[in-house]
Structure 1
Amino acid sequence: MWTIGLCIVAVLVIYLSYRLNKWSNPKCNGVLPPGSMGLPLIGETLQLIVPSYSLDLHPFIKKKAQKYGPIFRTSVAGSPIVVSIDPEFNHYIAKQEGRLVEIWYLDSFSKLLTMEGENKVTAVGVVHKYIRSIVLNRCGADPLKEKLLPQIEEFVNKTLQTWSSHPLVEMKHAASVKVFDFTAKLFISYDAENSPTKMSEKFTNILGGLMSFPLNIPGTTYHKCLKDKNEAMSMLRKIFKERINSPKRHFEDLLDLAINDMDKEKFLSEDLIINVVFGLLFASFDSISSALSLTLNLLAEHPAVLQELTDEHEAILKNRESPNSILTWDEYKSMTFTHQVINEAFRLGGVAPGLLRRALKDIEFKGYTIPAGWTIMLVNSAIQLNPNTYKDPLAFNPWRWKDLDSLFVSKNFMPFGGGTRLCAGAEYSKTFMATFLHILVTKYRWTKVKGGTIARNPILEFTDGLHIKFSVINN
């Protein structure tokens, strides 16, 4: 019996050793990038989802890059991944969508961001072009210039007026809710004030679970996120049903545009439209609220920046024929220092930890081979925090943008992605932020009362909140 038992143990040890060796040394028709794969199934997931308390690169990525170089391999949630902080490689991959790579999400992300039967987050070709076109139709530069800018100004005025009546405002959460409500009104005519269910809460909860461990059992964060996602999708489906059954659609929002196009664009279906709206709402609100919150936190710590920003906007008011005139597009475009502040906030506080792509075929680069089917994580924030590119990269220095030319910026500043996936809402985000700052510094006083400790998990948060007191300037 002892002999048999020892033989079984020996066989198990040999088998496990074989599997571990196979896991640690994946097959490749060439030379894999250096790195380690961690434990089977888990990989190095736990190291990656540990919160980072700095605006710098995540410690896991920084440590790996120092050890293995700017392109290395690892494994997250059971998937082999090549991580890149190499600017040349990142720009190359960004231009290869539909040829060498496709947009991709880890399985745990996909279950939160997609519906069964449709996969709008990996939309390519004609579908992606259509999505981009309807977004630009509603919030691109032309609609912003022609009609959206006054709407944003009115909304920000009401928001700050409301906030000034509160003892304190937790900036990140409050901004997320407000930006979501405005964008949802723009896309689906959502009336947050009269809705019995706050849709923003569902999306905020989903966002909070993106990096939770994908264990779908009651009581876990991931399970609750899936539940909130399903409830949000049900709300959107109800709105779609009501809209399509209406004898005449009169909202003229993004949802109307999509429904009206169903006859001529054969790829459009109910499920796809609902998925698209869900994805656009999900992508729209946190980038702006995070950047706004970070900007106010940084301005509170850099009074010289705040002073120059205030001087610029007070000069805009002085140059008006009527001080009560609405903000114009020409005034927005003239905000030179404001745009520098916004660029610096996006440089330091890029929302996405990395853009994910999947290799459609073997990819050769600098002597390495990335096998077909592998995931590629492009860590573009590394470009924006590279000390060889930006002097003292962790310093908040809006003046650095004064001497940077457009070619340098196009290659070394990618907060809104790049290539065919350049975010269609980039101008909308910057316009919203500039309008908010314009009204804030000309009509309000504000003080950071407490909080402001940075955390990334992976989305930018504040461990103890960012609590701000707003008050109206009494002239």
Structure 2
Amino acid sequence: MMWALSILASLLLIGITRWIYRWRNPKCNGILPPGSMALPLLGETLQFLKSNITSDIPHFVKERARKYGPIFKTSLFGQSVIVSTDAELNHFVFQQEGQLFQSSYPDTFNEILGRQNIGSLHGYMHKYIKNMILTFVGHEALKKMLPEIEQVTCKKLELWSTQASVELKDATAGMIFDFTAKKLISHDSEKSSENIREYFDAFIRGLISLPLNIPGTAYHNCLKGRERAMKMLKNMLNERRKTQRKNPSDFFDYVLRELQKEGSILTEEIALDLIFSMLFASFETTSLALTLAIKFLSDYPSALKRLTEEHEGILRNREVSDSGLTWEEYRSMTYTFQFINETARLANIAPVLFRKALEDTQFKGYTIPAGWEVVICPPAVHLNPDIYEDPLVFNPSRWEGSETSNASKHFMAFGGGMRLCSGTDFAKLEIAVFIHCLITKFRWNKIGRGDAIRSPGLQFPNGYHIQLAPKETA
């Protein structure tokens, strides 16, 4: 009996050893980039998720790029991946979207944002959904939104100026969420008894996290928030079907009409995931970027001075100084757009972008196997001293004389290729209008340090607190 158990234990040990060997030495029809696959299943996920208190390239990426080069292999979230800090490979992957590569995110993303979220859709369906989104945040729609965004922003700033202090990240997130929720689903936070924003509050911490669905974990809190939000949206869709309006009053009405068109390719699951994703994306990323922008204004008086000159110049050139921002005035904010681009470059709101190889692909002597993920790391490009002089220094003037494009080989703060974020122009408008209202009508003082960390996405763990006062009485 003992010899049988001994043989069984030996076979088990051999099996485990072979499994670990195969894990650490994956098969490839070519040469894999250097790197370590680390532990089976877990890989290097814990090291990847470790907090970073600097604005520099994440330590996880920087350390391995120094050791292995700009392209290396590892395992994250149970998946075999190639991490790219190489601008040329990033550009190549973006250009080959739908041919050699396709958008593909870890299960933690898809379980939270929905299996049919726009990031997981491809081909004609992705293009169709993107066009739907642009009816809400395209240029013509934004032109109509501009006066209302300015009005809401000024009203909120006036309210905050009566308070002893304001936590800017939470306050701006609430402001933007209330505005977009009203436009998307006609939700009025002041009249509703349901605080739907609380469903989304923990999402940024759970999107890139260990997929442990255990009470108390970030992932579990996200899933519960999603469950409540989707139940609310489902009930709303059923109510809209009962009381259809002839003329759409919000984006939800427009989506419902698309659903009911004969032969429509839109499904209820895709429609609800779309609304859910738009509610989340509209406020979380923009409020983070906006908070960082105000932090830079507080820390860099020269940038504040130039912005003040630009925006006060807009007021001086008007026939009626309080007539409100026009689209032409918004488009004339040259330095403001440079400031926003520089903020986005250093913010690196999206620390990584995921693409899956559809077939074995050769690049610079390496093979990217079919089925492997390519993890594109924007911070490694945005903070590369060979691309940007003194990359950790906040310097909006570095953008002078260059096209302030939403994407290029060396600037991917808003994504790249056909996956460029559809809400980019909406986010820029929100930030520009907020800056205009803030610096032309108010003064402020920072309270406390307001430190930012990256874990791996941008966060303000202790908030960013300011005290506001109207300029006339400051």
Aligned counterpart, 2:255: 258
Say which is worse superposed, 448-457 or 217-226, in terms of deviation.
217-226
Select which of 430, 435, 438 maps to 2:436.
Answer: 438
Q: Does 1:160 align with 2:157?
A: yes
Partner of 2:30: 30
Check conservation: 1:446, 1:471, Cα contact below 8 A: yes
In 2, the alpha carbon distance for the partners of 1:454 and 1:265 equals 49
249 and 48 in structure 1: CA distance in 2 versus 1, 3 angstrom threshold = farther
> Conserved in 2, the CA contact under 8 Å of 1:112 and 1:225?
yes
| Length-normalised TM-score, structure 2 | 0.95
What is the identity, as a one-letter code, of the residue corresponding to 1:242? Answer: E
Structure 1: runs of 5 or more not aligned: none
Asked if the contact 2:344–2:413 (Cα under 8 Å) also holds between the matched residues in 1, the reply is yes
Deviation at 1:455, TM superposition (A): 0.6
State how far apart, in whole Å, the 2-side matches of 1:258 and 1:94 are.
29
| Residue 75 (structure 1) shift | 0.4
Paired position in structure 2 for 1:139: 137
Q: 1:209 to 1:78 in 2, by over 3 A?
A: same
Note if contact 2:150-2:433 (Cα within 8 Å) is conserved in structure 1. Answer: yes
Distance 1:463 1:155 in 2: 27
Partner of 1:418 in structure 2? Answer: 416
When residues 377 and 409 of structure 1 are mapped into structure 2, their CA distance, relative to the original with a 3 A threshold, is closer
Which of 118, 125, 128 is the equivalent residue of 2:126?
128
Measure, in 2, the Cα distance between the counterparts of 1:191 and 1:344.
Answer: 34
TM-score by length of 1: 0.95
Q: Which amino acid aligns with 1:157?
A: C
Residue 429 of structure 1 deviates from its aligned partner by: 0.9
SS for the counterpart of 1:204 is coil
1:390, distance to aligned residue in structure 2 (A): 0.6
Q: What is the deviation of 1:224?
A: 2.0
Aligned AA (1:94): F
Per the alignment, residue 178 of structure 1 pairs with 175
The residue aligned with 1:12 is: 12
Local SS of the residue matching 1:369: strand
Higher mean C-alpha displacement, 192-201 vs 419-428: 192-201
Is the 2:118–2:129 contact (alpha carbons within 8 Å) kept by the matching residues of 1?
A: no
Q: CA deviation at 1:439?
A: 0.5
The 2-side partners of 1:70 and 1:249 are apart by: 56
The residue number in structure 2 matching 1:291 is 289
Cα offset for 1:258?
Answer: 1.7
Counterparts in 2 of 1:66-145, with a 5 A limit?
66-115=66-115, 118=116, 120-145=118-143
Match for residue 472 of structure 1? 470
Contact 1:134 / 1:254 at 8 angstroms: preserved in 2? Answer: no
Cα separation, 2, equivalents of 1:158 and 1:124: 41
Report if aligned partners of 1:139, 1:148 keep a CA contact under 8 Å in 2: no
Superposed displacement of residue 105, structure 1: 1.1
Q: Secondary structure at the match of 1:155?
A: helix
- Residue 268 (structure 1) aligned with residue 266 (structure 2): yes
Aligned partner letter, 2:216 = G
The structure-2 alpha-carbon separation of the partners of 1:113 and 1:167, relative to structure 1 and needing over 3 Å to count, comes to same
From the superposition, tell whether residues 332 and 139 of structure 1 become closer, same or farther in structure 2 (CA, over 3 Å).
same
Shift of 1:42: 0.6
Cα 1:314–1:70, aligned 2, differ >3 Å: closer, same or farther?
A: same
Query: CA contact under 8 A between 1:53 and 1:455: conserved in structure 2?
Result: yes
Judging changes above 3 Å, is the alpha-carbon distance between structure 1 residues 29 and 52 closer, same or farther for their aligned structure 2 residues? same
Q: Which runs of 5+ in 2 are unaligned?
A: none
The answer for the alignment partner of 2:322 in structure 1 is: 324
Secondary structure, counterpart of 2:389 in structure 1: coil
C-alpha distance in 1, partners of 2:458/2:407? 23
- The letter of the residue matching 1:66 is R
C-alpha contact (below 8 Å) 1:172/1:461 kept by paired residues: no
Shift of 1:126: 2.0
- Give the deviation of 1:235 after TM superposition: 1.1
Identity over aligned residues, as a percent? 45
Whether 1:40 aligns to 2:40 is yes
